[in-house]
């Protein structure tokens, strides 16, 4: 085993739980992602075990752990908790230390966070009242289209004549998708329309600043969605190396600061 000071960040989302272990130089040496399921505490423990194995360290080697996310209070081994807004902001600013707008597309909610040049939050908005534009929406559409989530990005990138969905509501969008299937529309064109509907929903939440960062599990697994967003806003979008882990990274950075 390697003997060194290490720090853990845990992000327990409604859909996925993420754990990151950082060394004293703030390098990621262990990480894990699993479905949160119905027992947040057990899932956090399982993710920690996987991350510890990757890092080749014992649990006793972790100096401090901070938890964030929907189920942060369920993490028994965390010494402190922080808000998900704060952790996402901190995680993104570590990689992009300048004024940005962060777009985080999660499993159950979307966030838009604005940071000034020092990393201070100047505002944020969160969508929790409707699943449209979230990972849950994408999962519902994949089920309606009878394709796996892993196939969605590839299909969208193959579209030549995107089908535009008129409704932002998950229920009504599902009806529209079924109607397009009945009409014989091409599957890639429908999937790209689903992506477009999600992007438009998120972009309507708030105005963007010059520099834009996209994070979240949906972004991690659907890079074509980032490309589509770039085309809509007509500028390049920044994406961290591990877009799904931003909140956990921010929590681990707090663990280093508050040891």
Verify that 209 and 137 share a domain, yes or no.
Answer: yes
The domain tally of the chain equals: 2
pTM of the complete model beyond 0.75: yes
Structural domain includes residue 65: yes
Residue 139, domain CATH? 3.30.420.40
- Specify the 3-state DSSP secondary structure of 193: helix
Predicted local distance difference test score (pLDDT) of residue 1:
44
Domain-located, residue 163: yes
Residue-range definition of the domain harbouring residue 49: 6-85+245-257
Q: What are phi and psi of 137, to 5 degrees?
A: -60, -45
Verify that 78 and 186 share a domain, yes or no: no
Query: Which two tokens mark 65?
Result: 């752990």
Position 201 scores a pLDDT of 86
**Judgement on whether residues 37 and 15 belong to the same structural domain of the protein:** yes
Task: Give a yes or no: residue 212 inside a domain.
Answer: yes
Q: How many CB atoms lie within 10 A of CB 83?
A: 14
N- to C-terminal Cα distance for the chain? 22
- Considering the domain boundaries, does residue 91 fall inside one? no
Task: Decide: 71 and 19 in contact? Cβ < 8 Å.
Answer: no
List the pLDDT tens digit at each of the 259 positions of the chain: 445 799 999 999 988 999 999 999 999 999 999 999 999 999 999 999 999 999 999 999 999 999 999 999 999 999 999 999 999 999 999 999 999 999 999 888 899 999 999 999 999 998 765 666 788 888 888 988 889 988 999 999 999 999 987 655 555 566 777 777 778 789 999 999 999 988 988 898 899 999 999 999 999 999 999 999 999 999 999 999 999 999 999 999 999 999 8
| Same-domain check for residues 118 and 50 | no
The answer to whether position 93 is within a domain reads: no
Cβ atoms of 57 and 34 closer than 8 Å: no
Statement to judge: residues 233 and 249 lie in one domain: no
Task: Note whether 27 and 146 are same-domain residues.
Answer: no
Neighbours of 129 (CB within 10 A): 7
Q: Are residues 61 and 129 in the same domain?
A: no
């Amino acid at each position: 085993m390697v003997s060194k000071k290490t720090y853990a960040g845990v992000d327990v989302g409604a859909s996925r739980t993420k754990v990151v272990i950082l060394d004293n130089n703030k390098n990621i040496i262990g990480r894990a992602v699993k479905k949160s399921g119905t027992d947040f505490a057990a899932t956090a423990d399982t993710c920690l075990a996987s991350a510890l194995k990757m890092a080749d360290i014992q649990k006793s080697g972790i100096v401090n752990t901070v938890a964030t996310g929907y189920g942060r209070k369920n993490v028994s081994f965390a010494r402190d908790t922080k808000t998900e807004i704060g952790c996402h902001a901190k995680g993104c600013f570590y990689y992009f230390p300048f004024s940005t707008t962060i777009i985080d597309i999660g499993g159950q909610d979307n966030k838009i966070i604005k940071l000034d040049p020092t990393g201070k939050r100047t505002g944020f908005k969160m969508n929790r009242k409707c699943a449209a534009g979230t990972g849950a929406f994408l999962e519902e559409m994949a089920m309606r289209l009878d394709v796996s989530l892993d196939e969605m990005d590839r299909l969208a990138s193959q579209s030549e004549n995107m089908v535009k969905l008129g409704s932002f509501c998950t229920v009504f969008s599902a009806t529209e998708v079924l109607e397009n299937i009945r009409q014989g529309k091409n599957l890639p064109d429908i999937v790209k329309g689903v992506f477009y509907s999600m992007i438009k929903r998120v972009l309507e939440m708030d105005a963007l600043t010059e520099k834009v960062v996209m994070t979240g599990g949906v972004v991690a697994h659907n890079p074509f969605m980032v490309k589509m967003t770039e085309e809509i806003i007509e500028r390049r979008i920044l994406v961290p190396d591990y877009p799904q882990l931003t909140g956990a990274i921010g929590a681990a950075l707090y663990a280093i600061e508050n040891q």
